[in-house]
Structure 1
Amino acid sequence: MGQLLIGRLRDAMLGIGQDHDLRAHEQLPVELARVHVDFHTCNYASLAVRLPRLIRAGHLLGSDAEGDRLDLLGQSYLLATRMLVKLDEQQLGWMAADRARQVAEAGGHPLAVAEAARNLAVLARRAGWEEQALSIALNAADAPALRASRSGAAERGLLIQSAAYSAARGGDREGMRELTDEAAAIAAGLGGTTALRDHGGFSLATVQLHRISAEFSTGDPSAALDAARALPPQSLPSVERRARYYADVAAALAQRGRRDECVAALLAAEHQAPQETHSRPAVRSLISGLLMSGRATPELRALAARAGALP
């Protein structure tokens, strides 16, 4: 499913081929809402059809609908970037992220500009450019426009927690914890979950989810598991975030050598979001590592078969 989605996004972004089922202009906002639901529920089979179609539709809208065109393309490219990051498709991810940035700036939407910067920071971190990723996120978080609304504050929180993850990847545990605490303070000040059109939401729970990944990235799986124990997964705002929780816990358990618990966490992730669990290269790599490093239980081999991770 992941490779199918990558291929269809690539062709839509390159303007190759055509879609014979493009929606009428007035139907596009409904299609965009469905695409967001597909992402947050990890329905990648539907996303592989709808998201490339939206990108094609956005490029075909005429100048008489310039505002709608920029909004549609901006939203579509932001979501495409997040999906390509998940699937570890760096080249196309950079292309989608840059287009999202250009469209957001042309449309003059501060939140979209900030979210595009956050995606660029993630890609920079994935490329091993931790300092640059940190700078991109923190510079975007300083934008005055983000201090004028609740949604702007939530976007600042997302950028700061992204910067915390970059600090973690750079080996700066103290900096990571300071930035994570700053993001948590913003979330506490907002109270509850702040829904964002370009993101599933921002809350104390989503900051804690990032803390799990960040602690693990500093080389401390025990601290990651401590952070996970403090977070009830049902408090997370979407299926996609809950699946991420279980996958992150599984990675930390694997590092601690707790194989049976690791497999149980992977099965919980699969129960939440099978298409997500089967598609993410990081999860499939973890499953393959378990197969090669010790006893393969029937449950593990069955999971590996479903994820296409058998040798």
Structure 2
Amino acid sequence: MAHPLDDPGKSFRGLFANRGEAEVMRGMTQHLTTGERVAWYRHRRGLSQEVLAGLVGRTADWLGKAENNRIELDRLSVIRALAHALDVSMGDLIGEPTLVEWSKESGRGTLPALREALMDYRLLTPLIGAPADGEPPALDALRSDVGEVWDAYQGSRYGFAARQLPLLLADALLAVRAHSGTEREESNSLLALTYQGAAMVLGKLGENELAWIAADRGLAAAQQSGNNVITGSLFRSVTHCLLSTGRFETAVQLVNDAAGFLEPGLNDATPAYLSVYGTLFLTGSMAAARAEDRATTQAFLQEASTMAARLGSDANHMWTAFGPTNVAIHRVATAGELGDMQVAAELGPTVDTSALPVERRVRHNLEVARALSAWNRTDDALAMVLQAERIAPEQVRHHYMSRELVLGWVRGTRGRPTQSVADLADRLRVV
């Protein structure tokens, strides 16, 4: 199947001739591959292939193949370098959709309502008034509501979580302002976890700036709680936010600094403490891999493995899904980020994730699919994506990896793609 950019004499704008200019200006986030977005932004910047390739230490031939989907841009370290050279965000090149499909669970109040809640000035200071009137919720009820949102996140039910979070934030803030002493500390813990839930959901939906706001406020509330388990949990969310914006080295430094803060508590650590501490290193291993720092990647994975051994088995303390299996998942994921696709393709299918939360299982499937696709095992890769979609359609639709894989299969097929690929592309809204 010939691609319009294969013909060097064909103008780039001709590729979009049948699409409105306003639609092109929005980045065409759901209908272009990462390589095609690179080409579009390169033309907007007035750069030749030779110049952009030189800025990222590659050849013009390599860039031409990337822009024409002859090679996959499947490593975030490479995408970050291109984004930096083009003076755009990684999200501009990845093109994550933020439209949450309406459903019975989500209703018709999703991301805009959560955005409005996070940007309400009354939430910033008690000097101007409380965010809501009325009696504060009972802490037991608030704790249950927080758990419900986190369970929805781990179940990849983002629409439901986005719908619940604005109300939950208002309740948690009301509780903080109404209570004192130990009850206020507990309220701050629950407020911190609510902000963290918001940050995690927003990150999954591509709203990275809002996720940063939520994580920052959550960390401030965690410090007011006096609970180092909660504080450690929020460190993980801030690290995720740094990852999503391409600040990989800063994320690695944060993990080291946070570990130094938490390390004194390891001697008599509870299972929750071990889980938060170990998960922090798993997040750090992804940051190190994307920074192409192999030594730190392996060191972080080893530290997480040590904590998993101390824990003794897989668990889900503080919604971490931490344990030996999650460490194995991250060995596969970091191999992919480092470009070791053969390692990921061989190791990935051997990891049994069936006992883990949906979010972890689906993310692993996508990592394995990416590795299999890189080795031209397209049928096996498609099977992994379809399996993931059956259990978590929202997560698969919103993850850049699944959309990039499917777009690559569509673009790379001579003639018409198979019906199963075409149907999947239609469900993901990428064609």
Q: TM-score, normalised by structure 2?
A: 0.66
Alignment of 1:15-164 (within 5 A): 15=120, 25-26=137-138, 27-61=141-175, 63-65=177-179, 66-142=184-260, 143=262, 144-149=264-269, 150-164=271-285
Q: CA deviation at 1:48?
A: 2.3
Q: Which amino acid aligns with 2:162?
A: A
CA distance in 2, matches of 1:80, 1:196: 18
CA separation of 1:164 and 1:232: change in aligned 2, threshold 3 A: same
CA distance in 2, matches of 1:100, 1:3: 24
Q: Which amino acid aligns with 2:300?
A: L
Q: Which amino acid aligns with 2:137?
A: H
CA distance in 2, matches of 1:160, 1:182: 7
Q: Secondary structure at the match of 1:233?
A: coil
CA separation of 1:123 and 1:160: change in aligned 2, threshold 3 A: same
Alignment of 1:150-229 (within 5 A): 150-197=271-318, 199-229=319-349
Q: CA deviation at 1:62?
A: 5.9
Alignment counterpart, residue 242 of structure 1, candidates 348, 361, 366: 361
Deviations 1:187-213 (A, max 9, x none): 12221123322x232100011111111
Root-mean-square deviation (Å): 2.4
Q: CA deviation at 1:117?
A: 1.4
- Of 85-94 and 263-272, the range deviating more from structure 2: 85-94
- In the other structure, the counterpart of 2:37 is none
CA distance in 1, matches of 2:159, 2:245: 28
Structure 2, unaligned runs of 5 or more? 1-96, 101-109, 123-130
CA separation of 1:54 and 1:240: change in aligned 2, threshold 3 A: same
**Any conservation in 2 of the 1:154–1:202 contact (CA below 8 Å)?**
yes
Q: CA deviation at 1:293?
A: 2.1
Alignment counterpart, residue 112 of structure 2, candidates 4, 7, 10: 7
CA separation of 1:254 and 1:16: change in aligned 2, threshold 3 A: farther
CA distance in 2, matches of 1:288, 1:123: 26
Q: Which amino acid aligns with 1:185?
A: T
Q: Which amino acid aligns with 1:240?
A: E
Q: CA deviation at 1:64?
A: 2.4
Deviations 1:39-65 (A, max 9, x none): 121222321221222112223346222
Deviations 1:160-216 (A, max 9, x none): 22222222111122331232122112212221123322x232100011111111110
Q: Which amino acid aligns with 1:231?
A: V
Structure exhibiting the larger radius of gyration computed from Cα positions: 2
Deviations 1:213-251 (A, max 9, x none): 11100011111122313311214x211111111111111
CA distance in 2, matches of 1:227, 1:102: 39
CA distance in 2, matches of 1:9, 1:213: 30
CA separation of 1:173 and 1:306: change in aligned 2, threshold 3 A: same
CA separation of 1:304 and 1:183: change in aligned 2, threshold 3 A: same
Deviations 1:121-178 (A, max 9, x none): 2222333322211110122122223543232122221112222222211112233123
- In the other structure, the counterpart of 1:297 is 418
Q: Secondary structure at the match of 2:307?
A: helix
**Any conservation in 2 of the 1:110–1:146 contact (CA below 8 Å)?**
no
CA distance in 1, matches of 2:373, 2:268: 43
| Identical-residue share of aligned pairs (%) | 26
Alignment counterpart, residue 265 of structure 1, candidates 372, 376, 384: 384
**Any conservation in 2 of the 1:15–1:56 contact (CA below 8 Å)?**
no
**Any conservation in 2 of the 1:146–1:155 contact (CA below 8 Å)?**
no
Structure 1, unaligned runs of 5 or more? none
Q: CA deviation at 1:68?
A: 4.7
Q: CA deviation at 1:2?
A: 4.6
Q: Which amino acid aligns with 2:156?
A: C
Alignment counterpart, residue 231 of structure 1, candidates 343, 351, 367: 351
Deviations 1:10-59 (A, max 9, x none): 11211289x99x99713322222211221121222321221222112223
Off by >6 Å, runs of 4+ in structure 1: none
CA distance in 2, matches of 1:62, 1:123: 25
- In the other structure, the counterpart of 2:403 is 284
Q: TM-score, normalised by structure 1?
A: 0.90
**Any conservation in 2 of the 1:88–1:281 contact (CA below 8 Å)?**
no
**Any conservation in 2 of the 1:90–1:123 contact (CA below 8 Å)?**
yes
CA distance in 1, matches of 2:112, 2:405: 24
CA distance in 2, matches of 1:294, 1:264: 17
Greater relative CO, 1 or 2 (CA 8 Å, sep 6+): 2
